[in-house]
Amino acid sequence: MSRSTPRRAGRRARAQAKAAGVSGPGDAQAVVNPGLTARRVRAALYGLVGAGVLAAVVLTALLAVTKLSGAPQGYFPSPLGVLELDVRSEYSHIRLYRKDQVRTLVFVRDSGEEALETQVDLANPHQLRFTYLEHLFLSYVFRPEQQRVLIVGLGGGSMVHFLKHYDPGVQVDAVEIDPVVVRIADQYFGVRSEGNVRVITADAFEFLANTTDPYDVIYMDAFLKPSADTDSTGVPLRLKTIRFYQDVQKKLKPGGVVAFNMNPHARMREDIETMRAAFAQVYVFPLPGYQGSVVIASTAPERQRLPALLARAAQLDRRFKTSFSFRTMVQRLAR
């Protein structure tokens, strides 16, 4: 997404989606008008993805548009491209699609809904394709020099690619509970333990309890199939308690931060209040065109004022020269 048009892109995407009858992730499901052409539906769905509307985009109703001739029963053409992999692990039902140079990893819910997990341009894997990922790296506004970071939830490794490209000196640990996801990240997305990257197959709760490595930043982006042990978005409940947040702070260097990806759900505001009770400072950044947020939780005793954050963000724009603007994202800070 260009740094000058995120809001226009979001409005345009939602207009396309409305015209095609595709609802976003805040709704229970997407509804596609069977009389529409597949081309219009694809355009609408891609508009939603490009605008950063990502968690639980539902493709189920799209299946009624065009059926894939000769394919196994239940398989239909997808706007995400050719189906490369369909596999079940102990934790998830996973599908992998490819369209030209773009590869997409999705988690399939019990209802058949496909939730977008990772999307990578294989020719430019460091370019983030989801808005929430861009906002997670607002961590640099609060911690400009990061020597060692932890990513909780690997997926296809978009964050690893970003860090390797823009901050190649940082040591990256990525912990993922699902060994199947770890293998997919290796074989299909080129993310594996090598150089300054270490991929650990482990339960994040247990890993954090046992690791002795202090981190500048911990990125929390872990989602499983929703169950009795998770919230409605798939975040494990034991990763959402005051006790856990207090334990996480013990794994941070002084002044370190935790960056949380918050998918929209009924108790999101309550979850943010729990963070406020556990951390010295909490900064909430609502995502454009989407009901989710990124939260930066800091152990620093003093709150950072907006002018200082904007000045630091402008420095990051000059330093990284990404396709998005740190300064624009900081301006979204909830007051």
Residue 8 CA, chain-centre distance (Å), reads 22
Among the listed residues 26, 5, 23, 111, the one whose alpha carbon sits nearest the alpha carbon of residue 290: 26
Confidence (pTM)? 0.77
Is residue 308 within 8 Å of residue 295, measured between CB atoms?
no
> What average pLDDT does this structure show over 255-266?
89
Span of 82-86, 177-181, 263-267, 289-293 with lowest mean pLDDT:
263-267
Span of 28-42, 180-194, 237-251, 295-309 with lowest mean pLDDT:
28-42
Domains of the chain, with CATH numbers?
1-72 (no CATH), 131-330 (3.40.50.150)
Does residue 226 register a pLDDT over 70?
A: no
Does residue 1 register a pLDDT over 90?
A: no
Span of 81-85, 171-175, 220-224, 297-301 with lowest mean pLDDT:
220-224
Does residue 119 register a pLDDT over 70?
A: yes
**Reported confidence tier of residue 322, pLDDT bands at 50, 70, 90:** very high
How are strands ordered across the β-sheet holding 102-108?
A: 82-88, 93-99, 102-108, 114-121
Is residue 22 within 8 Å of residue 48, measured between CB atoms?
yes
Is residue 52 within 8 Å of residue 287, measured between CB atoms?
yes
Is residue 316 within 8 Å of residue 326, measured between CB atoms?
yes
Does residue 291 register a pLDDT over 70?
A: yes
Q: Residues near 21 by Cβ (< 8 Å), separated by ≥ 6?
A: 30, 31, 32, 33, 36, 41, 44, 61
Q: DSSP strand E in the chain: where? A: 82-88, 93-99, 102-108, 114-121, 148-152, 171-176, 197-201, 215-220, 252-262, 281-286, 293-298
